[in-house]
């Protein structure tokens, strides 16, 4: 058992920044060819540039994961470029709520569910045949600690991440005998551009977010990336259908 990926191919959605970028870089550093995808073209291309500057191999493909035709085109681009797909990290997601459940709009609901749930479903729908064609592989989906419990003033987002875990577990059982493992990572608050903007806008909320973690800090994008690589590796060969909390102890309280 090892974490050797030399010569294999990984796809990362939502890879223009944050967790997605860090994971794409980690895959490349481990020897994989990486397909970087996002709706943010400038950010996605910057991720590719960073990988190439470090000696890795990567390709950017723009994709809105909530659109069936674009997801199909993304998978076709993966095969056209590299001829195979071994691992997928379905990380694209949005969080746009600003109030209580009764204050949300239908547009917010449709947007969040479209990217966070439909996007993961579409990606897995078209990734699974490619992985099975290789004799197996691994998928990791980004859920959240908000998918493991309540998230006040983020009810739609929380529901979407509960749904991601449901998709993850169901796919894991359906494709276990096909040698495709499917797991999810469930981060708590992570040090991303989004968190920094929120902290700058309201330092008190930022300080509360830090204090809610028993370890006394928020997480790092590299820590999520390391977990994704572990779940894709042969070291995790007996692990499937799991929602791994990477949360500094939040869900243990």
Q: Known catalytic residues?
A: 157
Strand order of the β-sheet with 243-246 is 57-62, 33-38, 9-13, 87-90, 137-142, 180-187, 243-246
Tokens representing 20 are 């997605």
Angle (CA) 200 64 195, round 5°: 15
Q: How far apart are CA 182 and CA 173, in angstroms?
A: 9
Q: How far apart are CA 76 and CA 147, in angstroms?
A: 31
Contact 47, 24 (CB under 8 A): yes
């Amino acid at each position: 058992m090892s974490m050797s990926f030399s010569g294999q191919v990984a796809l990362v959605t939502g890879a223009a920044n944050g967790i997605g970028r860090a994971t794409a870089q980690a895959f490349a550093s481990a020897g994989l060819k990486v397909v970087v995808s996002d709706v943010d073209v400038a950010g996605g291309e910057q991720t590719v540039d960073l990988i190439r500057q470090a000696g890795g191999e990567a390709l950017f493909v723009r994709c809105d994961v909530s659109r069936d035709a674009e997801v199909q085109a993304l998978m076709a681009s993966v095969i056209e470029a590299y001829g195979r797909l071994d691992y997928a990290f379905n990380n694209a997601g949005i969080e746009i709520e600003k109030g209580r459940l009764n204050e949300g709009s239908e547009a917010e609901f449709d947007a969040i569910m479209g990217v966070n749930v439909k996007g993961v479903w579409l990606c897995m729908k078209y990734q699974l045949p490619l992985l099975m064609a290789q004799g197996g592989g691994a998928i990791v989906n980004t859920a959240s600690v908000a998918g493991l419990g309540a998230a006040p003033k983020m009810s739609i987002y929380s529901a979407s991440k509960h749904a991601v875990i449901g998709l993850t577990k169901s796919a894991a059982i359906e494709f276990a005998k096909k040698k495709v493992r499917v797991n999810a990572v469930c981060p708590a608050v992570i040090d991303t551009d989004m968190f920094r903007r929120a902290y700058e806008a309201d330092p008190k909320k930022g300080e509360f977010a830090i204090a809610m973690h028993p370890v006394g800090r928020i997480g790092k994008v590299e820590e999520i990336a390391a977990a994704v690589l572990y779940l894709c590796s042969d070291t995790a060969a007996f692990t499937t259908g799991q929602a791994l909390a990477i949360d500094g102890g939040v869900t243990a309280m």
